[in-house]
Structure 1
């Protein structure tokens, strides 16, 4: 996999520190201790999220900030393998849920419970973990005994959570908005045939509406985020090459993983969500100004433009 150079943290660190400062000032004005701060990070697969969150975690945790930071991926909320198989069997005509990925394939309550425990500084909190290499790349949740523990006795509790993932921050649309996007995609598919690069126009409307409805459950986590960073690819088609690079690295390191064709089919299952919800992210997912940072990156993953929303 090509080396990813971090040119994003220089934009993100000042933004996040400013948001944390405002967060603490708000609670101090009420004579209260501020609860831990939650940061959301969205980016298509392979855009450089892992590299960025590593830098953010190290920077926030060390002097002069000294803010114990937990990095948590929405991927670690994926359903256990058996539950994912059951979901797929319950929706046999819906290709979007035949493998992990789309909203509806996560256990949202597991995430909201984790957020609640950290927000209240509960001790000895177990952090869910998912093994993407299990079942030849289909994945499975790790046994709870293998999960990490944060807020251990005698340690400073977590003060910042970085919640990252490809669909973090997605907001459900109305059924009418989804249908309008779907109809436009269908017309484009009819006009271009196999030259059509998207996936939305190849689907049944009911499949898309199912995922959109389940996405509403994710709002509880999204609304708790005090700051949001969106790594926005100039062209979402980049995700295919970026995801192939990730899987090649996994095969090299673990000796198992998906084939090139399997990866493309896998990304196909995600891609309709990019077509539906990316516009929402670009406009901003919160009514308040200043809570979101958008970094536009090119094929080389380098930042080209920065917008504060």
Structure 2
């Protein structure tokens, strides 16, 4: 992804956050908590890193972490897969239910209270792309003693902000034409939906929300392949990451989440807080096509 494309999104997001931060600081002492959603490979990691750098440069202390940081350990993920042997949604990391939500909640609460906080680090390249959480000595320390407490806290991820649906809504989507939902049993989708409810206490901590949306959901397959190719190049290891066949299978495992929950996210992450969602719609080349406030 070119720096020009990234810079455009950084400018748009920075202006949005600075606008809300000014109002937030006049009413509350805690940091502005931001949720950021975007499909795999759309450039979330690059965006949030550049956004944090921009805000820090402007004197706004910013902490960024990902829902991916809270994936279950490799051992825990294997156990989850064994406990649900016929449920394809839980055979690898990705979907709601494959994270340590309790750990994520404790980290976010600690950051909101401006306490010194260790944020876990997850290495997706370990175990031939299956990934694992690194030992605690490698975790990132935020709000360390003597540092300026974070004024903005950003939690990013492909499923961040997704809201659970009713059982009737899940069944209706399962019965409708789809790319991947028909491959799964209804009870498996309902279990996924039940797992998602555990995440909503995290989303309720957000003050504002940023959604990097796409003109077509299928772009995620191209973007994810590009992401894996870049990983191999950056690491100088042709065996790192996933093959094209593995990418197809891997994204298929995520895709039910997009089919189930993206539609409602496009209507607003929190209907009780209008004008707090910035939606940036991009094309296949990741250039900005449309900007909305929801």
TM-score for both structures, normalised by structure 2: 0.95
Name the CA distance, whole Å, in 2 between partners of 1:42 and 1:296: 12
> Partner residue of 1:59?
54
Deviation at 1:119, TM superposition (A): 1.1
Deviation at 1:37, TM superposition (A): 1.3
Deviation at 1:292, TM superposition (A): 0.4
Name the CA distance, whole Å, in 1 between partners of 2:145 and 2:52: 21
Name the CA distance, whole Å, in 1 between partners of 2:149 and 2:12: 26
Deviation at 1:161, TM superposition (A): 1.0
Name the CA distance, whole Å, in 2 between partners of 1:11 and 1:147: 30
Decide which moves more: 284-293 or 92-101.
Answer: 284-293
Task: Report how many aligned residue pairs link the two structures.
Answer: 288
> Partner residue of 1:31?
none
> 1:109 aligned to 77, 102, 110, which one?
102
> Partner residue of 2:70?
77
Name the CA distance, whole Å, in 1 between partners of 2:55 and 2:291: 21
> Partner residue of 1:180?
172
Deviation at 1:267, TM superposition (A): 0.3
Decide which moves more: 16-25 or 236-245.
Answer: 16-25
Name the CA distance, whole Å, in 2 between partners of 1:3 and 1:62: 21
Structure 1: which 4+ aligned runs deviate by more than 3 Å?
Answer: none
> Partner residue of 2:248?
264
Deviation at 1:88, TM superposition (A): 0.5
Decide which moves more: 5-14 or 169-178.
Answer: 5-14
Deviation at 1:54, TM superposition (A): 1.9
Name the CA distance, whole Å, in 1 between partners of 2:126 and 2:268: 36
> 2:122 aligned to 116, 130, 133, which one?
130
Deviation at 1:48, TM superposition (A): 1.6
Per the alignment, in what secondary structure is the counterpart of residue 41 of structure 2? coil
Name the CA distance, whole Å, in 2 between partners of 1:131 and 1:61: 26
1:16 aligned onto 2:17: yes
Per the alignment, in what secondary structure is the counterpart of residue 210 of structure 2? strand
Aligned-residue Cα RMSD (Å) equals: 1.1
> Partner residue of 1:275?
259
Per the alignment, in what secondary structure is the counterpart of residue 229 of structure 1? strand
Per the alignment, in what secondary structure is the counterpart of residue 147 of structure 2? coil
Name the CA distance, whole Å, in 2 between partners of 1:291 and 1:166: 19
> Partner residue of 1:243?
224
> Partner residue of 1:44?
39
Name the CA distance, whole Å, in 2 between partners of 1:219 and 1:21: 26
TM-score for both structures, normalised by structure 1: 0.91
1:3 aligned onto 2:2: yes
Instruction: Give runs of aligned pairs for residues 183-222 of structure 1, distance below 5 A.
Output: 183-185=175-177, 198-222=179-203
Deviation at 1:140, TM superposition (A): 0.3
User: What are the Cα deviations for residues 44-98 of structure 1, in whole angstroms up to 9, with x where unaligned?
Assistant: 01112122112210121123xx121111011001000000000011111110110
Deviation at 1:176, TM superposition (A): 0.8
Name the CA distance, whole Å, in 1 between partners of 2:57 and 2:233: 32
